[in-house]
Amino acid sequence: MKAALHEWNLAPKEAIALQKELATRLESDDRIAPVTHIAGMDIGFEDNGDTTRAAVVVLKWDPQTAPDLTLVEHVVHREPTRMPYIPGLLSFREIPAALGAFEQLNILPELIMVDGQGIAHPRRLGIAAHLGLWLDLPTIGVAKSRLYGKHDEVGEVRGDWVPLRAGNETIGAVLRSRDKVKPVFVSPGHRISLETSLDWVMRCLGRTKLPEPTRLADRLASRRDQHVKKPQNLLF
DNA sequence: GCGACAG
DNA sequence: ATCTTGTCGC
């Protein structure tokens, strides 16, 4: 791997310049290998934020049994938190830990869903886009709230969606992933189009708001399910 | 100058 | 993100 601590330990000003440069390398057309495994990634914190916990789950994709996905691998990686949360610079705070988790993975997914924005970002390099470039894998950003862009109100039925725009460009979509529930913000990261991103998010939707990959990664990264281990927690 | 602001 | 219990609704 390209070592370089300087790739992550940057002052805000340098980080912003790097984002602009990296954004020009993103591929917005689909360049995806036949999908058999989909990963989900999310970050959580412990020790009052001093420890960053990265969680990655890998689900088996079987068109025959879809939308039922099977959890086939999961990894949790902890390391000291390196910097505070700064809107627009989230990837510099969370990706280093995420890479630690991906390094321990045995199964290489063809697609990754990340808890955060793809190109729906002021400089078009949200955490999903940044991670996709680094791993050179297709990524989709699935955020629970908006960071950037404007949009009209979205219908209340599952599947309804409206474009998320920035000036003339469409940078993502506001998707009603579950009836009457707060919508999610879907935006392509690397090597995937918005249309295909929406297709995959829809295909991975159970009866919950979040698609299975990020829903499970979310639970693994979160502190809550950490102690309880009874019912469906048998998954972990 | 005044808000907005992923996780 | 995280601190935290119960509670309203399908």
How many domains does chain A divide into? 1
Give percent of chain A above pLDDT 70. 92
For A10-50, write each residue's pLDDT tens digit: 999 999 999 999 999 999 999 999 999 999 999 999 999 99
Strand C bases near protein CB (under 7 Å) are 1-3
Residue A108 lies in a domain: yes
Structure tokens at A72: 């086939």
What is the distance in angstroms measured between the alpha-carbon CA of A178 and the sugar C1' of C8? 18
Residue A234's pLDDT band (cuts 50, 70, 90): low
Residue A58 lies in a domain: yes
The reply to whether A221 Cβ lies less than 7 angstroms from strand C is yes
The CATH number of the domain holding residue A34 is 3.30.2170.10
| Helices and strands in chain A, H and E counts | 5, 8
Structure tokens at A164: 């998320």
pLDDT at A229: 47
Residue A232 lies in a domain: no
| Three-state DSSP class for residue A131 | helix
For A64-100, write each residue's pLDDT tens digit: 887 789 999 999 999 999 999 999 999 999 999 999 9
Residue A11 lies in a domain: no
What is the distance in angstroms measured between the alpha-carbon CA of A209 and the sugar C1' of C10? 15
| Three-state DSSP class for residue A109 | coil
Give percent of chain A above pLDDT 90. 89
The reply to whether A185 Cβ lies less than 7 angstroms from strand C is no
Residue A175 lies in a domain: yes
Residue A95 contacts residue A130 (beta carbons within 8 Å): yes
Q: What are the E-state strand segments in A70-227?
A: 70-80, 111-114, 139-143, 161-166, 169-175, 184-188
Residue A24 lies in a domain: no
Nucleotide nearest to A42 (CA to C1'): B7
The whole domain housing A49 covers 30-226
What is the distance in angstroms measured between the alpha-carbon CA of A226 and the sugar C1' of C9? 28
Residue A141 contacts residue A129 (beta carbons within 8 Å): yes
Residue A153 lies in a domain: yes
Residue A23 lies in a domain: no
